[in-house]
A and B are shown apart, each in its own frame.
Chain A
Amino acid sequence: MNPARKPSTALRDPAWLRLPLLAIALLFVGLFLVLPLVAVFTYAFEKGVDFYLASLVDEDARAAIRLTLLVTAISVPANTVFGVAAAWLITRFTFSGKNLLVSLIDLPFAVSPVIAGLIYVLLFGAQGWLGPWLSENDIKIIYAVPGIVLATTFVTFPFVARELIPLMQAQGSEQEQAALTLGAGGWSMFWRVTLPKIGWGLVYGVILCNARAIGEFGAVSVVSGHIRGLTNTMPLHVEILYNEYNRTAAFAVASLLALIALVTLVLKQVAEWRMRRATPDHDIA
C-alpha cells in the first residue's frame, strides 16, 4: 500500500474535536438509517411470522413482486447495453454534440421522477400526442406494463453510463491500441480487453441501476394507474396497503424491499473492493 493513501498522522485532529464529530455522525446514522430499518422489521413482524408470510404470499403481493421482477429484468439489461455503448462512444471518439450527450444522460437525475412519468402520460396517454394512434392500433402503454417499463428505464438510464465514463476515461485506450496492433478486430477487442478492464465498474453500475429499478416509485406511480394484480409494483403495493390501514402487511412487503437494499449494499461493497484490486498501481517497479 502506498503510504500517501493513508491519512497522514499530521492531519489527525485532537480528541476534543474527534470524539464529538464521531458522536454526531453516529447519531445521524442511528436516527435516520438504523432506526427506520429496525422499525420496518419490527412493524412487519408485529402480528407474528404467520401473518408476515401470509402478507407476502397474498395474490396481489405476489403479482406486485412478479411485475417488479419483470420490469427490472427488462430495464436493467437495456440500460446496461445502452450504458456501455454510450460510455464507449463518449470516451473513444470526439464528435460535435458530445457534451450535449453527456448532459442528456444526466437528465433523469435532474428531472423529478414524477415529471418523467408525466412526460410519458403526455406522450402516450389517451389525450397525449400519440394517444389516438395508439388506441386505434389497440396498443396500451399508459396504465399498462409497457408504460411502467418505460418510466423505470428512463429513471435508471444514467447509472451504468455514469459509472463507466470516468472509469474508462481514467483507464485510457492504450490497451485497446495494443490489441489493435496485435491484429484484434473491434469485437474481440471489446470482449478480450475492454470488458475485462471495466468489469467490476460495470457490475457496480448494474447493481445501483438494479436497486433503483426495484425501488422506483414516483415515475411508476404516475403511469401505472394502480390496478391491483396488474400494474402494481412492490413500492406501489406498499403504498396501497398502507393507505388502507393495513400497516403490518405494508411493512411486510416493505421489509422485502429493505432486505433487497441490504443485499445490494453488500454486493456494492464487494464490487468496490474488487474494482480497487483490479486496478494495479502503475509504479510497483
Chain B
Amino acid sequence: MSIELSGIHYRYAETIALRGIDLSIESGELLALLGPSGCGKTTLLRVIAGLEFPDRGMVRFEGRDLTLVSARKRHVGFVFQHYALFNHLTVFENVAFGLRVRGWRLRPKRADLERRVGELLELVQLGELAKRYPAQLSGGQRQRVALARALAVEPEILLLDEPFGALDARVRGDLRRWLRGLHDRIHVTSVFVTHDQEEAFELADRIAVMNEGRIEQLADPQTLYTQPASPFVCRFLGEVNEIPAALHTRWTGARDAGAIAFVRPHDLDLVADSSGDARVDEVRDLGAVVRVEASHPALAVPLIAIHERGRFDESGLRRGDRVAISARRWVVFRADGTPV
C-alpha cells in the first residue's frame, strides 16, 4: 500500500516538529527516516500511524485520505522503540492481542487464532517461548515479539520506531539482516526511523534524511552518498573533511570565497614526501583500517584520512612524517549551501 504525505505541519506546544513534509512512499518499499534526535522523524512516523494528527497537511494511503482517521482504524503495524509489550500477558497472548480485540464477527475462531499466532511465532523464531512473559525475554527476543504482534493484524503498512536502538551491537546487526530478509519475503510497505546512518544504508531501499522538521534529501543510499544535496546531508552521513575553497567561474568571472569542499577520509591520500607541506600528527590503528591525522599550515583543523590496513602498511607512514595530500573524490558546496 502506498503512502502519500503532503504539506504536513506539526507543532508541539512551543517547538515546531514538522515544517511542511511532502513524501511519497511506494507500495512494498522499505524506507528509512534518518536524522539527528529532535529532527521530527519519530513525529512523522507517528503522524503516518495516526498516533498524532498534523496541524496542516494530508495523509493518504493508496490515494485514500486518512488524515483524521484514528490509529485504531488505519490498519498499520507499529513497533515501538521500547516495544511497549503487555507485561501481564504471555508472548502468545501479546501476539494474539490484535486478533482478540476484533469485533466478534471478525474475530477468528479459537483454532484459527492459535494456528495464526503459532505461524507468526515461527516466523520470528520464538515458537519455544510462547508461554514466557516479556520480563523473561532478552532485548532481541522482545523486539521480535513486538514485530510479530504488529504483523498479527496483517497490516499493509509496517512502521518501526528506532527498531534496534535499545539492542547491543551484535544483536543489532543480526536482527537488521533478518528484518531485511523478512521484508523481502512479505513485502509489506515499511518505514523505519533511525539516527544511525549505517543502519539506514544497510536496510533501506530509499532514505529520507531529515533535519529540523524538513526532509533534506530523499534518495537511494548510493545517490545520497555520491550526490548529497546539502552540507547537512554530507556531514550527517559520516566523518568528512571540510576544506575551505574559493570558486572561480571561468565564463562570468564570478568568485565565491565561502565555498567548502567535502572529502571523505577514505578518499584522502597521504603520500610520504619530504617536500610536502603537511605533517602526520597522529596514527591510530583501528584494526581493519588505520586512521591518520595530518595538519596543513593553510588549514585550521587537521585532516583525517582512513586507509585500509594493507595500503597503510605499504605506505609506511609514521607520526612526524612530511606528506603530500591529494583527494580522489570530493563534493563542493557554495557558501549558500547549494551543490556545485
Contact = CB atoms under 8 A, between A and B. Distances in A.
A177 B161 CA distance: 13
A40 to B, nearest CB: 40
B101 A184 contact: yes
Contacts of B166: 285
Interface in B113-152: 133-135, 137-140, 142, 149-150, 152
SS class, residues of chain A in contact with chain B: helix
A181 B49 contact: yes
A175 B84 contact: yes
A178 B84 contact: yes
Contact of A181 (B51, B88, B89, B138): B51
Contacts of A281: 135
Contacts, number: 85
Contacts of B80: 174, 177-178
| Main secondary structure on B side of the interface with A | loop
Contacts of B100: 192
Contacts of A81: none
Given A177-B84, A178-B80, A183 B102 contact: yes
B86 interface: yes
Interface string A165-179: 000000000110111
A195 to B, nearest CB: 10
Interface in B69-101: 70-78, 80, 82, 84-89, 97-98, 100-101
Contacts of A177: 51, 71, 78, 80, 84
Interface residues on B, range: 35 or more
Contact of A285 (B49, B88, B142): B142
B51 A197 contact: no
A54 interface: no
From B72, B74, B75, B153, residue with most partner A Cβ within 10 Å: B72
Contacts of A12: none
A188 interface: yes
Interface string B44-65: 0000011100000000000000
Contacts of A174: 80, 82, 84
B167 interface: yes
Nearest to A279: B87
A150 B102 CA distance: 41
A258 interface: no
A281 B133 CA distance: 13
Max chain A C-beta neighbours (<10 A), residue from B75, B97, B133: B97
B135 A284 contact: yes
A281 B75 CA distance: 31
A118 interface: no
Interface string B270-297: 0000000000000000000000000000
A193 interface: yes
A26 B74 CA distance: 61
A280 interface: yes
Given A285-B142, A285-B166, A183 B98 contact: yes
A178 B82 CA distance: 11
A177 B78 CA distance: 9
Nearest to B167: A285
Contacts of A285: 137-140, 142, 166-168
Nearest to B51: A177
A185 interface: yes
Given A174-B80, A180-B71, A181-B77, A197 B101 contact: no
A182 B87 contact: no
A282 interface: yes
Given A174-B82, A278-B87, A282-B82, A182 B139 contact: no
Contacts of A196: 86, 88-89
Interface in A228-282: 278, 280-282
Given A278-B87, A285-B138, A180 B167 contact: no
A106 to B, nearest CB: 26
Given A174-B84, A197-B88, A182 B97 contact: yes
B88 A278 contact: yes
B70 A180 contact: yes
A52 to B, nearest CB: 45
B30 to A, nearest CB: 19
B149 A182 contact: yes
B168 to A, nearest CB: 8
Contacts of A175: 84-87
Interface in B312-333: none
Given A177-B51, A193-B86, A278-B88, A182 B98 contact: yes
A48 B75 CA distance: 72
A174 B139 CA distance: 17
Nearest to B73: A183
Nearest to A195: B88
Contacts of A183: 72-73, 75, 98, 101-102, 153
**3 interchain residue pairs of minimum CB distance:** A285-B139, A280-B135, A182-B98
Interface of A: 174-175, 177-185, 188, 192-193, 196-197, 199, 278, 280-282, 284-285
22 contacts: A175-B86, A175-B87, A177-B78, A178-B85, A178-B86, A179-B86, A179-B97, A180-B71, A181-B51, A181-B77, A183-B72, A183-B102, A184-B101, A185-B72, A185-B101, A188-B101, A192-B86, A196-B86, A196-B88, A280-B135, A285-B140, A285-B167
Given A175-B85, A178-B84, A280-B134, 9 more contacts: A177-B80, A178-B78, A181-B50, A181-B76, A182-B98, A182-B153, A183-B101, A199-B88, A285-B138
